[in-house]
A and B are shown apart, each in its own frame.
Chain A
Amino acid sequence: MPVQRLVPTQEAADLLELTRELAREELAPRVAQAEAEEQFPREVFRTLGKAGLLGLPYAEELGGGGQPYEVYLQVLEEIAAVWASVGVGVSVHGLSCFGLATAGTREQQERWLPEMLGGELLGAYCLSEPHAGSDPAAMRTKAVRDGDAYVITGEKAWTTHGGQADFYKVMVRTSEHRSRGISCFLVPGDAAGLSADPAERKMGLTGSTTALMRFEGVRVDADRRLGAEGEGLPIALSGLDAGRLGIAAVAVGLAQGALDDALAYAKERETFGVPIIDHQGLAFLLADMAAGTETARAMTLHAARLKDAGLPYSRQASIAKLVATDNAMKVTTDAVQVLGGYGYTRDFPVERYMREAKVMQIFEGTNQIQRLVVSRALAKGVPAQTAVLA
């Protein structure tokens, strides 16, 4: 079912058309095999980079597309509707550029950002550690100053694109201060002492490589530090809200893809002489899937528009991530139900969608963390605000 969209400009509409064309021609023919064989589609990211889709939300003068989040997230959604692993990858890549784009010096930006935003280089970011996920300030990976360089030692868990990426945005401890002792570095993928463990054997998103990264005395020039020493945690945390919106959009796309497949099947499959969509039990299931998905999209884009307007959007980003990923879990589960026994087989993609949805309730801040963010905001008191669009 084509999605009804409202976008601010003609070029945004053309961009979405280009995205759908790329998804149809380049992603759709590859997704099933790559996911089944657990192959990371590096080439697909080159294609998306060449088309200018890997730097959309960044300023044009930095080499980005200068697009508002409202548009970028809809692009992400269209990609994820066809291939969730690639949607997640685009979001992660975007986030890995965030530190440099916001905290880097002009010189650092000019040196690295064009190739990163242009998609020639693929990014990853390292925040979580085996024992420190929801509480990043508990991290132990260390960087010790040595002349005009730092030496990084430790382990970073759950790194999307781990071992595949050309650069890693890494959060490490430069002092023992819990929050002000963390610094941010841009580490090249081929740095000596940097290695990836064998990829995690995951339940879903098997086309996306997730690995533990080992830093064994990795020497990084001091000019690869982003922001001042000790200012890494605010950089990491300020990127999280944007990252949550990215995952919310990916979850909306995944749900939409599942709904589309379930709907197509329900119109074709007949029982008792009529297509199963004519049985109210299934028809209402589909209606609920559509209602949940459109609601999740609306919430995600509302948060994006707040961000684009320069207004606080942290709470709304958390709500969007919570609502969209819970919805994706429900919709993909129901899609399997619509397809019945066939849905439970690996000959149809809906069981894969269901496996892919699960992790979205976990990564980029578990949905328990999202509820924590929201409830804390409620406890603190949310001011009434009516902003006017410029």
Chain B
Amino acid sequence: MNIVVLVKQVPDSGTERQLDSSDNTVARASADNVINEMDEYAIEEALTVKESQGGEVTVLTVGPDGATDAIRKALSMGADKAVHVSDEAIHGSCAVQTSAVIAAALSQLEYDLVICGAESTDGRVSVMPALLSERLGIPHLSGARKLTVDGSTLKVERQTDGGFWALEAQTPAIVSTWDTINEPRYPSFKGIMAAKKKPVETKSLADLGVDAGTVGLATATSQVLDFAGRPPKGEGVKVTDEGDGAEKLVGFLASQKLV
């Protein structure tokens, strides 16, 4: 089974992240960039499927030159090869435009299964797998907490607030994963050394046959018009125990969907 995993290099969500004041896009050049955390679960799932089913795992990313860090991480975890779509014209693209680029790149690859994280921590639009499903005309099994592969049949437990939905589809298909699906492996030093020798193909928009005028900030379907810093932390809720403290606490936690 040939699997393509979509990965994205994002500013580390554990650090102070910025927007670039010149065009209101995510400030990537100055950020401490890492592989999108959710993507590590997608890579792990792809490697697990490969280990049981055979085949190849290809990593696909769209991003500036620095995105090679995310590619190397995926390859050092065990992916076989990578495709890096890099083109200045893509800067500032919205999710819809980016999905056209990724769909074009996927069309040049042979795949049975596409796996991606359910969201990226920078944009958090969380629509990419659905957009790709539509563009490629393949089923989308979303929000997986469990994936089972049986021949060309995919079964997914789709995580919901109250439990899960059982989804089933035939390959080729796209599966998006939550962080409940597995525990990603660490790379090993051997993996890091092996990654050096794995093929990474860089493609431009021209290589994909995508018209540069259809992507980028100027023609994006959504643009950030303005932004402001995070407001200072509010006072919070004080619970005074009048014999019903526990009830109030549980009520608060439930309202935040924490219990």
A and B associate? yes
Binds A, one of B41-49, B186-194, B242-250: B186-194
The reply to whether the CB of B76 lies closer than 8 angstroms to some CB of chain A is yes
Interfacial chain B residues near A21, Cβ < 8 Å:
186
Known pairs A11-B192, A51-B186; list 4 more (Cβ under 8 Å).
A11-B196, A18-B187, A18-B188, A22-B186
The reply to whether the CB of A56 lies closer than 8 angstroms to some CB of chain B is yes
Nearest A residue (CB) for B190: A52
The reply to whether the CB of B72 lies closer than 8 angstroms to some CB of chain A is yes
A53's contact among B73, B189, B193, by CB below 8 Å, is which? Answer: B189
Minimum CB–CB distance from A47 to chain B (whole Å) comes to 8
> How many residues of A are in contact with the other chain, CB < 8 A?
14
**CB distance A65 to B186 under 8 Å?**
no
**CB distance B189 to A50 under 8 Å?**
no
Interfacial chain B residues near A53, Cβ < 8 Å:
189
Bound: A11/B193 CA distance, A: 7
Bound: A18/B184 CA distance, A: 13
A52's contact among B72, B73, B189, B195, by CB below 8 Å, is which? Answer: B189
**CB distance B188 to A50 under 8 Å?**
yes
Interfacial chain A residues near B186, Cβ < 8 Å:
18, 21-22, 47, 50-51
Bound: A56/B190 CA distance, A: 10
The reply to whether the CB of A37 lies closer than 8 angstroms to some CB of chain B is no
Interfacial chain A residues near B72, Cβ < 8 Å:
10, 14
Bound: A53/B190 CA distance, A: 10
Nearest B residue (CB) for A24: B14
The reply to whether the CB of A149 lies closer than 8 angstroms to some CB of chain B is no
Bound: A47/B195 CA distance, A: 20
0/1 per residue, A41-78, Cβ < 8 Å to B?
Answer: 00000010011110010000000010000000000000
The reply to whether the CB of A290 lies closer than 8 angstroms to some CB of chain B is no
Minimum CB–CB distance from A201 to chain B (whole Å) comes to 35
A56's contact among B73, B76, B189, by CB below 8 Å, is which? Answer: B189
**Chain A's interface: helix, strand, loop or mixed, by majority?**
helix
Interface residue ranges of B159-205 to A (CB < 8 Å): 186-190, 192-193, 195-196
Minimum CB–CB distance from A341 to chain B (whole Å) comes to 28
Interfacial chain A residues near B187, Cβ < 8 Å:
14, 18, 51
Interfacial chain B residues near A14, Cβ < 8 Å:
72-73, 76, 187, 192, 195
0/1 per residue, B63-82, Cβ < 8 Å to A?
Answer: 00000000011001000000
The reply to whether the CB of A15 lies closer than 8 angstroms to some CB of chain B is yes
0/1 per residue, B14-29, Cβ < 8 Å to A?
Answer: 0000000000000000
Interface residue ranges of A1-27 to B (CB < 8 Å): 10-11, 14-15, 18, 21-22
Bound: A65/B193 CA distance, A: 9
Nearest A residue (CB) for B196: A11
Interface residue ranges of A264-312 to B (CB < 8 Å): none
Nearest B residue (CB) for A67: B189
Minimum CB–CB distance from A333 to chain B (whole Å) comes to 31
Bound: A56/B188 CA distance, A: 12
Select the residue from A47, A52, A56 with max chain B CB neighbours within 10 A: A52
Bound: A56/B189 CA distance, A: 9
**CB distance A51 to B193 under 8 Å?**
no
A-B contact pairs, 6 of them (CB 8 A): A10-B72, A10-B196, A14-B187, A18-B186, A18-B188, A50-B186
Nearest B residue (CB) for A9: B196
Nearest B residue (CB) for A64: B189
Minimum CB–CB distance from B147 to chain A (whole Å) comes to 24
Bound: A65/B189 CA distance, A: 7
**CB distance A51 to B188 under 8 Å?**
yes
Bound: A47/B185 CA distance, A: 11
Interfacial chain A residues near B188, Cβ < 8 Å:
18, 50-52
Interfacial chain B residues near A51, Cβ < 8 Å:
186-189
Bound: A52/B190 CA distance, A: 7
Bound: A21/B186 CA distance, A: 9
Nearest A residue (CB) for B72: A14
Minimum CB–CB distance from A254 to chain B (whole Å) comes to 23
Q: Lowest 8 A-B CB distances belong to which pairs?
A: A52-B189, A52-B188, A14-B192, A51-B188, A65-B189, A11-B192, A52-B190, A51-B186
Bound: A15/B190 CA distance, A: 10
Bound: A53/B186 CA distance, A: 12
Minimum CB–CB distance from A45 to chain B (whole Å) comes to 14
Bound: A254/B190 CA distance, A: 27
Minimum CB–CB distance from A71 to chain B (whole Å) comes to 10
Bound: A53/B187 CA distance, A: 11
Select the residue from A14, A22, A47, A50 with max chain B CB neighbours within 10 A: A14
Nearest A residue (CB) for B68: A10
Minimum CB–CB distance from B23 to chain A (whole Å) comes to 28
Bound: A50/B73 CA distance, A: 17
Bound: A223/B73 CA distance, A: 43
Bound: A175/B64 CA distance, A: 67
Minimum CB–CB distance from B255 to chain A (whole Å) comes to 30
Interfacial chain B residues near A52, Cβ < 8 Å:
188-190
Bound: A18/B76 CA distance, A: 10
